[in-house]
A and B are shown apart, each in its own frame.
Chain A
Amino acid sequence: MTKKTTAPKAPKGRTSRTTATTSTSGTTRRRTTGDDQRYDAIVVGGGHNGLVNGAYLAKSGLRTLILERRHLVGGAAITEELHPGFWFTTFSYALSLLRPDIIHELELTRHGFMPLLMANTFAPMENGDYLLLSQDRGENLREIARHSKHDADAYDQYEHDVSQVCQLIKPLLDMVPPDLFSDDPAELLALAGLGRHFRRAQPRVVQNAIRLLTGSAADFLDDYFESDIVKGLFASASIIGTKVGPYSQGSGLVLLYHSIGEHDSVFGAWAFHKKGNGGFTQVLARAAQAFGAEIRLESPVASVITKGGRATGVALSDGTEYHADVVVSALDPRRTFLELVEPRDLPTDLVDHIRRFRFQGTSSKVNFALDGIPVFPALADRGVEPFRGFTNIGPSMEYLERAFDDAKYGWYSQHPYIDMAVQSTIDPDMAPPGKHVMSCFIQYTPYKLRERDWDAERQNLGDTVQRTLESFFPGFGNLVLHREVVTPLDIERVVGLSEGNIFAGEFLAPQMFFFRPAPGWSQYRTPIDGYYQCGSGTHPGGCVMGAPGKLAAGQILKDRAIRGR
């Protein structure tokens, strides 16, 4: 296999290749190794978390190598020209949870960071009516009142209550979870701090938080709203990426995650990055390189090399070895613990936890190149306007729950939930003038099908989705120039996310915070010295958030500082 590198820039301020090593006297001396394969840190996987991690490490002066299996970085966050002139966000397609401090600390705005505002949210209904929300609060209240006067009143209260919960929970996304099982005074102090954080909040907010973290979205939404379309719209955010229906316990947590992202301080607001989420990971790659990180493409890592319980480097599947004292896996927990290293080198209960870690992906994508904008009959005269943002095919909680029913019994939804995004209405760079790309996120499509398999069902899924779209947008089929169907199996094969789980492990309470990916191993370290984890399978989890990559870098640097003392 030939190796391509993305024009690695020479590390800043270094003419010869040097690494910092610590001499016995404790002072740092620079040693020229002359050895191309020797680094301070190696990051396995060039998804967004690997890039964030590598960028932070390089920024701190570590000679850092990021190894990516594919011909491009980004992992689940890539944009590809699959039809001439049409740029597809094959997997991940919208941005909201990215931690704002990463934008600043990695100087992303210098490298082209540009989250584009979505102007509208559009929820078509099966009876031909619709809910179309804009950026104007007053207009939205009137629009909701068309469906329910009660819900128009409740809308502000709901937004306020959820925002308060978000404000309470948000700091947790930016912290290393304390170790619940440690007697270390520092950990106990951190736990106490967490307790104080919740004690200081208003009881009502804490209770709402618990309801969301443990309960069902339906229960929560029923407290506020009565109309199907309003509930359907909000409840849709409670199932994304997870094998739950809106009535299942646990869907509240997913709803909370999708509300806690922000766009310029507005909770729950999403943006399209310029040139899609792949445009975003290209920005990250440029930032990482500017800090001196080296990125090697088409470099699949077969294993982490260990010596005496310590990680010392990695071996590619072609046998090439790279050496470093720090090896970071940006892959999911299954690959981090069961594939890159020998499970027998790990404590058995950790291996057991990882074996029982739930993936069970249930999401797919069907992406289209379109000859023109779809037409919703009731809004036929409004052109592209309703499509400037998410279009939500999930007209009621019942619709979503019935879609889930199919999945419960091992099949994919015959009337699927679809999160549609015609990104070219926001970013003209995505498609030729007048043409469009449309990303459709689909649920439910269980990884394990009752009969047949995804290779056999792929195009049938595409047809099912297209049929559903046709029922809302008559004539849709005539617009299709190109169609890409991405099943959970494809996500697993292409990105490497086990069982196609988009979050590298489900968002279920027992798999979050202290427990992500396993009790006692939520602080980005592993039982192997020098071997770290920074993928979405670690806290705070999946989505294009960057937090795992950043928090892991913090731990690595802390450990090095302690060792260097």
Chain B
Amino acid sequence: MAEYTSPDFLLLDDTQLSQEERLVRDSVREWVSKEFMPHIQEHIRQDGSFPMGLVPQIAELGMFGANLQGYGCAGMNNVAYGLLMQELERGDSGLRSFASVQGSLCMYPIYTYGSDEQKERWLPEMAAGRVIGCFGLTEPDFGSFVSGMATRAEKKRDTWVINGVKRWITNGSLAQLAIVWANTEEGVKGFLVETDRPGFEARDIKGKFSLRASVTSELYLEDVEVPANSELPGATGLSGPLGCLTQARYGIAWGATGAGMACYDEVVQYTRDRVVQGGPLAGKQLTQQKLAWMLTEITKAQLLALQVGRLKDAGKLHHAMVSMIKRNNVDVALQIAREARDLLGANGIVDDYQSMRHMMNLETVRTYEGTHDIHTLILGEHITGLRAL
């Protein structure tokens, strides 16, 4: 695989990013190129597997929960965190998903809604990669509509008893700790469930065309008993899981941009080298039209993500802004991946090239964390004040 050169058409590097932000980006980029890329093909060829051997390095570099303060976390701002996600997904959406789930979907709720005792117990272990988490919200019969949740938790003296099935859970069978969202008499609550508790079982979902370098599981909870203090005290109602999702969606908007950048870089190099009718494919008008469109969309996506990151750091974020960038950036990345795959011709369908892998991955990214359409409706409601969801 050729060396990666990232598109930076509007010189954001020199004019918009701080030195720390650039150093973070460069360090992660180098790590992905040297340590992750050599393994991706082998994991793509297996059905649903992640290079677990890299977890200690990922933790050592501080990539888990990198925008949280304390507890062994790197304490970066949200732009540096976004750049981290961009670089991880430049490698593979499975790698970025692993870090998103651990940091934004598992560490973040403990950090934000957890008790001091829960934070002390879990966050340092999770930052160090010794405890892997998973986030159980989606169920076989509901995805987009959290209110349809069937999983129930009942209080029995000083324990909670949880029953239900969660499906499409990233890292489900790899996790030591599951954050399980369940209906209770007081509304939806989040629970910290150790996965070795009796009655807990995780089964992997096979046959995925997408996110193959990631483990996706189904969780079965049958009378799983957890102590009363396993409940996340700060999260009651749907704002709990939705708060986590806003975090993760923010990172995804950056990540998808990284995947688009990888496809763009690949196809620019390829079309320069590929000779058709006596000249490089890149010299044809139709190709240039596609490349010009790709670079423009990537640049717009970079600017959107950067501005929302700066607003997040300034405490001025609105969740509809995150919906806009998740919706837009994933959508254009997917279109770029498809166009890139097309320009690669037959070569584009084998895993020596990456655009089709990104294209297949981005189908998941378009669906999870609020589908493309759901974000359209969130924006629609924001604009009109009328709820169409």
Tell me if chain B binds chain A.
Answer: no
